[in-house]
Amino acid sequence: MTVPENVRREAERLRNLIRYHNRLYYTEDRTEISDGEYDALMRKLMELEERWPELRTEDSPTLRVGAEPLSAFPPVIWDPPMLSLDNVFSEEEFRDWENRITRELGLDAPPAYSFEPKLDGLAVALVYRNGILERAGTRGDGRVGEDVTRNVRTIRSVPLRLEGEVPAKLVVRGEVIFRKKDFLEMNRKRVQRGLEPFSNPRNAASGSLRQLDSRVTASRPLSFVAYGTAEWPPGIDSMRSLFEFLERAGLPVNPRNTVCFGARQVVEAFRKLEKEREELPWEIDGAVVKLDSAEMQRAMGTASRSPRWAVAWKFRAEEAVTRLLDIEVQVGRTGRLTPVARLEPVNVGGVTVSRATLHNEDELLRKDVRPGDSVIVRRAGDVIPEVVRSLGNPDGERAERFRFPRKCPVCGGPVIREESEAAHRCINPSCPARLRESILHWGSRDALNIDGLGGKLAEQLVDSGLVGDFADLYHLNAEELAGLPRMGKKSAEKLLEELERSKGADLERFLTGLGIPGVGRTVARALASAFPDIHALAEADVESLMRVEGVGPILAGTIRRFFGDPVTAGVVRRLLDVGFDPKGSGGVRGGGRLEGLTIVFTGALSMPRERARALAEAAGARVTGSVSGETDLLVAGPGAGSKLKKAVALGVKVVDEDEFLEMIGKKAGNG
């Protein structure tokens, strides 16, 4: 269907408006419309593109909403490589660097430098082909990074189409960051939702950009700031002219970039930057000083890992001395235990610090800090303050070493330290500190696959006090559920049906849902193959567990402790009391009627695909996702396509859902 001309004009108007407001915010730091008005423009454009798909262009702002998750990031090769910078930490070290520059270039006077605040984020490169964003990737090791194109497209400050005249291929380098105000607002919203706030903008930016689900990246207010190009564009001969060129093309650059002549001006600029760093809109950890001249940069060349024409002058970490009053242990949403120092309040870099992280038991022992000690506390940028080391107890005798708890300080459940990890974790899935995450995992596709039990509902159930334990899910009634926000009568009834159905879960899914550290889907499947039911597994000793493929001595000890500790054993007992009786494939296997067969499902089925898979596996079959010469049986529902054609061509036996249920001894309609 031909797109009406007035619709085409409206779509272009919306695109131009959205690009205009993006540029205002990210390059001029001002706004003319509210967030709600901006979102309305985006929604209207999305509606037009959904109705007329041919309107969607390769630079449309709607690409910023994200797409289906990837299984992994493909590699991206950088040539020339994205090199890291050498560091200096003092005026003396910087002057030594300048002396080398002037000596090697044979200069009679100090050169001009580009002085740029060093943004503390994640380095990326954007590849533009004929002005359109084609690819984006992280620095990685300099030569090989990760292709994060879909994620970078969600960042509003990254232009999807450059403006003006640009080379056919342009590789722009820059930093992905969080502005301070955006970071604080994001953390405020996370706390409102019961989530842990991110500790600092740099780590949050790195983690947000490297999400396999680009929709997660799209939900976080990242920014991009350009600081250079892989090669000099034609006609550009200095950093000054390069930044002007990038701005004309629509790319944000740091407005605090300036030009200094000689070390004296650089030192003055650095001291000024140190004083003003707290007032800047983004976190910085120093300054980058580059030769301004393109010709001089080429003459200096590069070393194996860093350019010889640029250096990073880093701020020294801000430190202070105070008294350690006590050591407490916090439990995070994943059950991780973190030791935290409670301190006499002290000013560190303009911020009053009364608590500081001690990271984990290994760090605690290495630093040997004890209550009563005088300690050095460090704060760099917005990073959570940390205790650097102990100066001993000024009063003389020191307290005993801190002993890491064997029981969770929140719930009293067992605490374990996983193999090859420094972290200790509470393994009680019903621990109040981790209950929201536990319930979300319990209902996930790999576990009990409870449709409707998502993150928001898990949060509401815990916050309302309706659920304090897995078993409480199975005592809910329709009236209680319907009283929750956005949970009507039909949704409540459907959830109760899903919960009732989940009681029939096999041992593999039941174990996966419990979230025992080290017991993912693969190990759970191996355990379910080795034991006939949950009772046999719960009574198994370490030696028996170690005979299971993939279970070593440490994991066997964790499993034994989970089923032997009264707190976590109580979680399992209460689930059995509400009707669970999970069987393993090592016990009764649906009569073993499909033993040794390889099965593929295709088309629409009346039951969830995961349920069909579980029934087939319980009957001894191996379920795969594609038809091949190894396939013994294809179960085809309505709408079956290419898999059915291939099965027929290969002579694979084809049955419908009713025939499949008869084969495993189930009556059609009651599976």
Point out the residues that are catalytic.
118
Q: Which two tokens stand for residue 8?
A: 């085409």
Q: Which residues contact 62 (CB under 8 A, 6 or more apart)?
A: 42, 45, 46, 49, 56
Place of tokens 């009713």: 658
Distances in whole angstroms, Cα of residue 319 to Cα of each of 202, 377, 602: 20, 5, 63
- Measure the CA–CA gap between 597 and 621, rounded to whole angstroms: 5
Instruction: Give SS3 for 71.
Output: coil
Cβ 17 vs Cβ 41: under 8 Å: yes
Instruction: Give SS3 for 93.
Output: helix
- Measure the CA–CA gap between 80 and 571, rounded to whole angstroms: 56
Q: Which two tokens stand for residue 271?
A: 């001291």
Q: Which two tokens stand for residue 280?
A: 């800047």
Which among 282, 298, 241, 289 has a CA at the least distance from the CA of 265? 289
Cβ 285 vs Cβ 118: under 8 Å: yes
What letter does residue 144 receive in the DSSP assignment? E
Cβ 107 vs Cβ 101: under 8 Å: yes
Q: Which residues contact 235 (CB under 8 A, 6 or more apart)?
A: none
CA dihedral 472, 473, 478, 482 (to 10 degrees): 100
Burial letters 111-137, b for 16+ CB under 10 A, else e: bbbbbbbbbbbbbbbbbbeebebeebb
Amino acid at 423: A
- Measure the CA–CA gap between 616 and 594, rounded to whole angstroms: 7
Residues forming beta bridges with residue 135, ordered by sequence position: 127
Q: How many other CB atoms sit within 10 Å of the CB of residue 67? A: 14
Helices (H) and strands (E) in the chain, counts: 24, 22
- Measure the CA–CA gap between 508 and 589, rounded to whole angstroms: 13
Q: Length of the chain, please?
A: 671
The count of C-alpha atoms lying within 13 angstroms of the C-alpha of 416, restricted to the half-sphere facing its C-beta, is 19
Distances in whole angstroms, Cα of residue 641 to Cα of each of 602, 638, 648, 656: 8, 9, 11, 14
- Measure the CA–CA gap between 370 and 232, rounded to whole angstroms: 55
Distances in whole angstroms, Cα of residue 182 to Cα of each of 37, 142, 205, 635: 18, 29, 11, 51
The count of C-alpha atoms lying within 13 angstroms of the C-alpha of 562, restricted to the half-sphere facing its C-beta, is 28
Label residue 110 left, alpha or beta by phi (over 0 means left) and psi (-120 to 50 means alpha): beta
